[in-house]
Chains A and B, each alone.
Chain A
Amino acid sequence: MIDTHDLRFRYPGGAELRFPDMALPQGGTLLLHGPSGSGKSTWLALVAGLLTSSSGTLVVAGQALGGLGGRARDAWRAGAIGLLPQKLHLSDALTVAGNLGLVYYAAGLPVDHDAITRTLAALGVGDLAARRPAQLSGGQAQRVALARAVLRAPRVILADEPTASLDDAACAAALDLLRQSAAACRATLVIATHDRRVAEALPQASRLLFSSQKDMNPASMGHCLL
């Protein structure tokens, strides 16, 4: 679940961003719409605990992020958040399995090789574990990145433009995978996108609309629960 109330954020020396209130139940799906630079990334970073709000309350997966220190926030993020970035950022220094192992390394946990094998297999890329990311096709790489995001069964999955460069068939497959993966760990799914196909494929999802930063005010930003 994600609950925000009067959430604001100010970049050093920049204008203050105000975000509309949001109450998303656990297991729900949320689409973030809006042009580049409209605050989508900032909102994602706030929800992921990478930035601290300047005011307002933010509760993600039962955790109030306002009062959490840096180290605690890192530990919380490791367990509660799965991120699928637009650029997948798989490291070529490591194998596919090694890239998934980073999840445990970052969290300071012993590597769970069984979980890695299981997750890769569930996403249909089980036979690629020993490959280098450079040897994968775009679709395979995205599945690996998704496996990395859901490896520790996060409470919230954040996907940033997951369909940006995909054709229609691949777009549908990617969204299916995301939905299935989120459902499998009963995670809340947040997709930042300006891809019309996503909205069409997920008609029952909640929406959060961002407008360009210049005329950003609560009136011009709205969200609608369909």
Chain B
Amino acid sequence: MNTILLAWRYLWARPLAAGLNLLLMTLGLGSMTFVLLASAQLARAFERDLAGIDVVVGAKGSPMQLILAGVFHIDVPPGNIPLAEVQTLARHPQVAQLIPLSLGDSFRGFRIVGTTPAYLAHYKATLAQGTLWGAPMQVVPGAQVAAGAGLKVGDRFAGSHGLGGGGDAHGATPYTVSGVLAPCGCVLDRLVLTATESVWQVHETMHGGAPEAGPALDAEDRAALEADREVTVALIRYQTPLAAVTFPRWVNSSTPMQAAAPAVEITRLLGMVGVGTRVLQGFGAVLLLTAGLSVFIALWSAVRERRADLAMLRMLGAPPWKVGALLLCEALWLALMASVLGLLAGHGLTAVASWWLQADQSVALSGWQWIAAEAWVPLVAVGVAVLSALLPAVSAYRVDVGPLLNPR
């Protein structure tokens, strides 16, 4: 028999109180874990998707919208920009690399993005099977899309007009899957990638009749269509960091397009999301405080209830520190169990949230990733336990043996 085991016995001698305290502490620690995980993973997901993109150029409108649509693919783009303008940008001396993205169609809610192989190279994506597109109308779906829609090499499907799904199907111009991406943990996972030309072809066919239908378009019409070709956004990497000073201003003032710096917009966004994070953190703190108080009350009443038991221990020769340690140990047991359960609950909650967000095809969260900040959870638990056990333990330490001999 030792203090740790004995504290365990005493704890579960009152199963209802112990269970309730455990539940309260678990809720507090669980929400703390969830907030830590979610905010860390969101920040990391943003950073990963943003990495290496210095500026995004697109149609005039809200810069935040441009970033959300062009980099994270969680908002509709403000509009399109003429291909000719983009080609001019690409030749700008301050631009090291320009990746065009054409949005507009989707497949079962996943966006079909017309781009160049540079987009894949930018995120260091690799193919799980098949090859990259070799011709227009060949597509490479991301891992999440392939898994969700059950796509494999050789499958054919028609995109639907619009980004939300449920638009008119482009039945006349089906896509063929030429390869499937390996999971990259980035935005590509939930995109269907194809050549920019595919998007143009789909829409020119829609407006001009099927290409097989013969020369429905004369050369003049075709030239007009080609002159009207557009992309949605251009992701740009600068030649030199100095470009950040002049390039966006130049785009915004002397072209019909706007340039938005992702870093600036995302700081703004995280600032807004941060309110939610702080509300959750506050909520978790209140829960923890409640749990701490409850543990305190439970231990305090345990000392009162067991005053005689504790006095008996003193009578049997136990030094005061041993009696105090017994109380402290009970609280630490609660902290330990609540830490384990709280961490599990937090991760479970994150897993549920990730499943939910995945269904929503927005941000990728993972329930079973561990982060260093989680080390705070058991530390906070022990802190709360020690704080709430302090007074009861001191009271147990100073328990009076007198009433034992004088029970009146």
Contact = CB atoms under 8 A, between A and B. Distances in A.
**Do A and B make up one complex?**
yes
A153 to B, nearest CB: 14
B316 A89 contact: no
Interface string A75-116: 111110101011101011110001001111111100100000
A136 to B, nearest CB: 16
Interface in A149-165: 160
Interface stretch (B1-9, B132-140, B257-265, B370-378): B1-9
Given A45-B402, A48-B315, A85-B312, A105 B9 contact: no
Given A77-B317, A106-B318, A106-B322, A93 B404 contact: no
10 contacts: A36-B406, A41-B402, A83-B315, A89-B309, A89-B311, A91-B309, A93-B13, A105-B6, A106-B316, A106-B318
Given A89-B312, A91-B309, A102-B312, A36 B317 contact: no
Nearest to B14: A93
A111 B1 contact: yes
Instruction: State the main secondary structure of chain B at its contact with A.
Output: helix
Contacts of B406: 36, 41
A98 B1 contact: yes
A40 B401 CA distance: 14
Question: What size tier do the contact residues of chain A reach?
Answer: 35 or more
A86 B406 CA distance: 8
B153 interface: no
A45 B401 CA distance: 8
A128 B46 CA distance: 66
A160 B403 CA distance: 12
B313 interface: yes
A45 B405 contact: yes
A21 interface: no
B408 A104 contact: no
Contacts of A75: 317
A128 B12 CA distance: 22
Nearest to B323: A106
For the complex of A and B, the 9 pairs showing the least CB-CB separation, nearest first, are A78-B317, A93-B13, A106-B318, A106-B316, A41-B406, A41-B405, A89-B312, A105-B1, A89-B308
A74 B318 CA distance: 6
A85 B317 contact: no
Nearest to B307: A89
A91 B12 CA distance: 13
Nearest to A85: B404
A225 interface: no
A93 B313 contact: no
Contacts of A103: 316
Contacts of B309: 89, 91, 93
A71 interface: yes
A74 B308 contact: no
A130 interface: no
Contacts of A105: 1-3, 6, 313, 318
Given A102-B312, A102-B313, A93 B9 contact: yes
Contacts of B10: 91, 93
A93 B315 CA distance: 18
Interface in B1-56: 1-3, 6, 9-10, 12-13
Contacts of B306: 91
A87 B1 contact: no
Interface in B186-216: none
A86 to B, nearest CB: 5
B408 A102 contact: no
Contacts of B13: 91-93
B16 to A, nearest CB: 14
A44 interface: yes
Contacts of B320: 70
A78 B312 CA distance: 11
Nearest to A48: B315
A50 interface: yes
A160 B405 contact: yes
A104 B1 contact: yes
B119 to A, nearest CB: 66
Interface string A54-82: 00000000000000001100111111010
Contacts of A92: 13
A75 B316 CA distance: 9
Nearest to B404: A85
Contact of A71 (B311, B314, B316, B319): B319
Given A50-B315, A106-B322, A94 B405 contact: no
Contact of A74 (B1, B6, B12, B319): B319
Contacts of A83: 315-316, 404
Given A70-B320, A85-B405, 17 more contacts: A44-B405, A45-B401, A45-B402, A77-B316, A83-B404, A85-B312, A85-B404, A86-B407, A87-B404, A89-B312, A91-B10, A93-B309, A101-B1, A103-B316, A106-B314, A106-B317, A111-B1
B370 to A, nearest CB: 36
B371 to A, nearest CB: 39
B316 A78 contact: yes
Contact of A50 (B313, B318, B401): B401
A78 B316 CA distance: 5
Interface string A114-126: 0000000000000
